[in-house]
Amino acid sequence: MPPSAGATTSRSATVAPQWMVQESLPLSQLPASIACRNSVDCWAVGGSLEQGTAVGAATVNGGKTWTAQAMPSGVGSLESIACPSTLDCFAVGSASDVVATTNGGRSWSKQPLPVTSPYLQMEGIACPSRSHCWAVGVTVLTPVGVLFSTTNGGSSWQSEALPTEVTNLYDVACSTTSDCVAVGTRSVTPVAIATTNGGGTWTTGTMPAGQHGTLYSVACGSVSSCWAVGVDGGSASDTVLATTNGGSTWTAQKPPSGIGTLNSVTCPSATVCWAVGYGTQAGLVVSTKDGGKVWAKLPLPARLNSLTGIACVSTTRCTAVGANKALAPSLDITGAIVATNNAGKTWAPQAPPAGIGFLNSIDCHEASHCWAVGDGSPTGVVSKTTNGGSTWSTESPKGTGLLYDVACPSTSDCWAVGYNSLLTGSVLVATTDGGVTWVAEELPSGVGTLNVVTCPSTSDCWAAGAGSAGSVEGAVVINTTDGGRTWVKWVLSSLATLQGISCASTLDCTGVGFNASFSAAMVVNTSDGGFFWRTGTFPGGTGLFDVACPNTNDCYAAGYAGYGAVFTTDDGGHTWDASTQIGTNSLYGISCTNSINCSTVGRNASVSAGSALTTSNGGLTWVTGTIPSSVDGLYDVSCATAKECWAVGWTSSSAVVLSTAPTVDAVSPNRAPIGSRVTITGINLGGATSVSFDGTSARIVSDNATRIVTSVPPGAKAGRITVVTPIGTVSSRTPFTVT
């Protein structure tokens, strides 16, 4: 764990997609457009009904929570957003400025367009790269379509010449930095223009005969294949047009009946597209899987009034924005965000409760029970799950201001350390009823800061940190052998502080920290319950933040030595092997379930990303895990088994809890007739919401974290079995055979 930020402890037939309401935004805020870079990072922009000003929101956990983002003053309602990376987004609307962010939305700034008319209305923007963007709109009073471009990330914008009689442009899509298509109207007929040379020239495409109305949105699944949607001015019904030659000619496609207007379209592939809009007093979504030969209308929550924007990161995972219906005639409509999701990831983010500033440490006594601690502002906070991360609850122990570490030797008993509510000294709180109540325990005098705690049993615990100013100099270790009723203190004068401690037994403990001048890492260990401590020094420039000792001989210490480093010992800490470089700037937490299986987490500062690595051969080799790109860093990790681990850290806007993804290890039997019982075994399967046999839903008879009992459903065909859990989706490695 990083210095002064807290330390860590080491212990051990096709089914229609289902849409779920993710967020109802404040009464006055209506989102108009959405952009998603991946399955977890999305940004939505729109406007305030009351003030006509820009509003923005973002999610970094796949829509489980959304947070408001502050927009520059003087910017009107925003109509469109494009995000070419997880850091860079550009948005346009009712102003002569583009608003942009280069830090994922933490701050937004204005980029002036070369037209300052108060009657400029920008409608759409596309950015195929971080440097290249095109924005389209209209000068309202004329009206004349306008198109601007940048090749330097918005440092400057240029106006581009358009074909004559383009009266409005509503959207633009760019499949490369050379190939773009923009759509809108030309008098009373739809228009589409295209460029194949990066905006050097734009040509008008040929529309189907007799076409009237407006095109509001365009999307390209490839350089040649694009779709445009809108409304037919003659029939007041929807319009869907398609091109297979990059916009030179367009043909009409037939969507389902009963659709009034389609506002937005997105095409994650050359054959799969999704479009949203509204019909008879209700929002709607339509999709095609065959390039538009057949469009299907899909079910949505009844409360939706209309949808204005959609983004899809894959052919199955989409998020849409719009408005809910008013709850009563006297009330206003509210903004809405809805999503469909049946995809999974290697590491699945879980949403801790609202109000948590950050989480420093996590401990999992078993696969279902975990506790994480951190800052809840103004109090310390404990976040707890008893179902393997399906849900989390929040506790705020009285008298705490900031909690650095937690240790739980049972599902009922936990100790947490950190600062008191005044941030003037240490606090140690304990629970013996699974977190229902927390009690502060009396500490010996001279204890300044407690960074870490570890408990090899429900009676024996060790906590370590630094002495208080003016009383002692050096690191301090405190120990209880009676469940916290009394604590004994040791002073280690050769160390400034201890950042990590691990006890393989009630007598054998190893701690890591820094020497008195903070110039080198140091390690201390005891084999007699703390009466005598041996001291060792690591090379200068080395920092150690955590240690894990799965037995009395083997320990792993994690930190940095100019790179992410793990040191190992197999003789109880007397000698340590040279560090293993594992490719990240700093490692803050480590957890080992036995002498060969360990996981370590930290941060790669060069790319501002979290890191998670595992070894299954005692540290000879380390394998890098895949974590969500929104995670900026990880503070701590706790593994209940070699395959079941949880980690805590942070994103640009919130705390985050990660868990290893669910797996299916075996299916028994792997062939059976319809109606037969089937047992699925694996990890992180608890709280499963669905089981399907090659897409055919099956009944869940019983389930827990490692075992699901189901039955082969009527209509099942040979194929893989898929399990959906709150933290991810997983399929069997081999197909199931229906006999």
Cβ neighbours, 10 Å, residue 222: 15
Instruction: Identify any residues that bridge with 274 across adjacent strands, giving them in sequence order.
Output: 266, 287
Q: Which residue has the tokens 């890191």?
A: 611
- The residue-averaged pLDDT of 325-331 equals 42
Cβ neighbours, 10 Å, residue 629: 18
- pLDDT tier at 511 (50, 70, 90 boundaries)? very high
pTM value surpassing 0.85: no
Q: Which two tokens stand for residue 324?
A: 């809910």
CB 356 within 8 A of CB 350: no
pLDDT for the residue 447: 86
pLDDT for the residue 590: 95
CA angle 256–260–263, rounded 5-degree value? 95
pLDDT for the residue 348: 30
- Cα dihedral 133, 228, 145, 99 sign: negative
The C-alpha atoms of residue 63 and residue 31 are separated, in whole angstroms, by 14
pLDDT for the residue 235: 54
The C-alpha atoms of residue 433 and residue 411 are separated, in whole angstroms, by 8
The C-alpha atoms of residue 142 and residue 122 are separated, in whole angstroms, by 14
Q: Which has the minimum average pLDDT: 36-40, 479-483, 582-586?
A: 582-586
Answer with the residue of higher pLDDT: 63 or 547. Answer: 547
Domains of the chain by start residue, with CATH = 30-258+289-300 (2.130.10.10), 349-660 (2.130.10.10), 663-738 (2.60.40.10)
Answer with the residue of higher pLDDT: 234 or 291. Answer: 291
pLDDT for the residue 196: 93
Whether the pLDDT of residue 2 is over 50: the answer is: no
Contacts of 561 (CB under 8 A, 6+ apart): 538, 539, 541, 542, 543, 579, 581
The C-alpha atoms of residue 647 and residue 638 are separated, in whole angstroms, by 6
Question: What is the per-residue pLDDT across 674-720, written as a single tens digit (0 to 9) for each?
Answer: 999 999 998 888 778 899 999 999 999 888 878 899 999 999 999 99
The per-residue b/e assignment along 71-81, b for 16 or more CB within 10 angstroms, e otherwise, is: beeebbbbbbb
Q: With helix as H, strand as E and coil as C, how does 392-456 read?
A: CEEECCCCEEEEEEEECCCCCCEEEEEEECCCCCEEEEEECCCCCCCEECCCCCCEEEEEEEECC
Q: Which residue has the tokens 């120990």?
A: 479
pLDDT for the residue 23: 38
User: How many CA atoms lie less than 13 Å away from 101 in the CB half-sphere?
Assistant: 24
pLDDT for the residue 515: 81
Question: What is the per-residue pLDDT across 210-257, written as a single tens digit (0 to 9) for each?
Answer: 777 888 899 998 899 999 988 875 554 568 899 999 999 999 988 777
Whether the pLDDT of residue 367 is over 50: the answer is: yes
